Amino acid sequence: MGSKKLKAIAVRGANKVNCADEAKFKEALKELYSEMQKSPVLYPDFSKLGTPMVVERASELGILPSKNWSATGVFVPVESIGGETQEKYYTVMRKGCYHCPVRCGQTRLVKSGPYAGFITEGPEFETTYSFGSATGINYMPAIIAADRLCDEFGLDTISAGVVIAFAMELYEQGVLSKEELDGLDLRFGNHEAMIKLLRKIAYREGIGDLLAEGTKRASETIGRGAEKYAIHIKGSELPGYDVRGAKAHGLGYATSFTGGDHGRGYAIQEIFDTPVPYSVDRLTIEGKGKLCKWNQDVRTAVCDCMPFCAFPFDMAIAEVATTLLPKLYESLTGYSLTAQEVEKVGERVNNVARAFNVREGFSRVDDTFPKRIMTEPIPGGASKGQLISAEDLNTMLDEYYEARGWDKKTGVPSREKLEELELTYIADDLAKLKKL
């Protein structure tokens, strides 16, 4: 949309939304709220702290990535930037999405110091990671300021923070000089330099012009071994879970059609100990291919296509999501769906997206990790010593592709699978392009 100079799409309506069976809809909604209220996590913790509570959880598991993923489990600034600290010292107002009983949104204000006056809705967990632990910064006011600036500049906080962390490590490793960084002393933990560089990226000034391209393109342009420190998958900077200590979560990153994306195949079983569809050991690779497919398909159908907020799904209703949410869907639209049909919706979407990527030149070789994840063990904490070797990744990919009905050598969906999903036209298109 940006390339087309499109600033916004405005939609306005004055009529009531038609409902196939309003009584059944209200009944299903009541059942949904009841399931949400049973959660020991959603209330009171999540509703009070919002996503920053995951700072504590990720730290407990030893998977909060720090200093560009080089100091996970070693630099653990929970007391400075965790959810409890944010709530105690910076929250001035809570808010929520329309009609949501959880109201997890937090408005936080810096009241004193060099960033006094900065106010933002957040920062969410991912922003706390990208401008906090990832950059070696344990000063919460700077993270709040960076979050607000990204909102005003129109920058993604994960990508912006991770590319700055990348530049910080290049500086500390001697790959980039102070002169090349426009005189910035870009050490891990230097929040003043971080804020200055963030502005440079937004306005594409000096070194900011290169870093605005993201870690993948920037590392390729810089050379000199910079690729070793680029934390991305398919050009997308990685979110705040060090997947060396959560293997199914990592496989979700590697196979996601949008690159390193925690919204695709989030492994609730590993992050929150959710026993749905079954409990797993987060540190093993066995069975993670099949589990990743389930996570991707169900989350796509329930959270993306219904749509439904991922947070209650993760923390409260995963066990009943494919049976309860179809009740809402049917009472609203008049169309019925079984639990199996719900999963099939997600499977269709993921196959269409995969076929799109295949058409654009992606294959199995792109379902991979940054070199650091596969060669450098986590240095400290509860996941110390963990990594995902190339061999481990290949084992999980084989299982994943088999579960999906994709070719193991290329990762291309088979004609048989596409026809099963009533996607014959896509199979024909791939065949014409000699991709199938």
Taking the C-alpha atoms of residue 115 and residue 119, their distance in angstroms, rounded to an integer, is: 9
- Does pLDDT of 199 surpass 90? yes
Supply φ then ψ for residue 233, to 5 degrees.
Answer: -135, 125
Give per-residue pLDDT as tens, 373-409. 999 999 999 999 999 999 999 999 999 999 999 999 9
What are φ and ψ of residue 232, in 5° steps?
-150, 165
- Rounded distance, CA 262 to CA 76, Å? 21
Q: Say if CB 230 and CB 167 are below 8 A apart.
A: no
Helix (H, G, I), strand (E, B) or coil at 301: helix
Q: What is the pLDDT of residues 78-109, one digit of tens each?
A: 999 999 999 999 999 999 998 899 999 999 99
> What letter represents residue 41's amino acid?
V
Q: Is the pLDDT of residue 2 over 90?
A: no
**What sections of 240-299 are H helices per DSSP?**
247-255, 268-271, 288-299
Query: How far, in Å, CA of 112 to CA of 402, rounded?
Result: 56
Domains and CATH numbers, the chain: 50-237 (1.10.569.10), 246-432 (1.10.599.10)
- State pLDDT tens for residues 230-276: 999 999 999 999 999 999 999 999 999 999 999 999 999 999 999 99
Residue with tokens 């971080």, as numbered in its chain:
194
Q: How far is 119 from 394, CA to CA, in rounded Å?
A: 45
The Cα–Cα gap between 136 and 118 comes to: 21
CB atoms within 10 A of CB 142: 24
Is residue 223 within 8 Å of residue 245, measured between CB atoms? no
Mean pLDDT of 272-290: 97
Q: What percent of the chain has pLDDT over 90?
A: 96
- Contact by Cβ (8 Å): 251, 288: yes
Residue 187 binned pLDDT confidence (cut-offs 50, 70, 90): very high
Task: Give the integer Cα–Cα distance in Å for 256 and 17.
Answer: 34
CA distance 41 to 318: 13
- Scanning 14-134, the segments in alpha helix (DSSP H) are 22-37, 47-49, 53-61, 78-81, 83-89, 125-128
Could you give the C-alpha distances from 382 to 63, 64, 80, 266, in angstroms and in order? 8, 11, 20, 20
Sign (positive or negative) of CA dihedral 67, 72, 73, 78: positive
Distance of CA 91 to the CA centre of its chain: 24
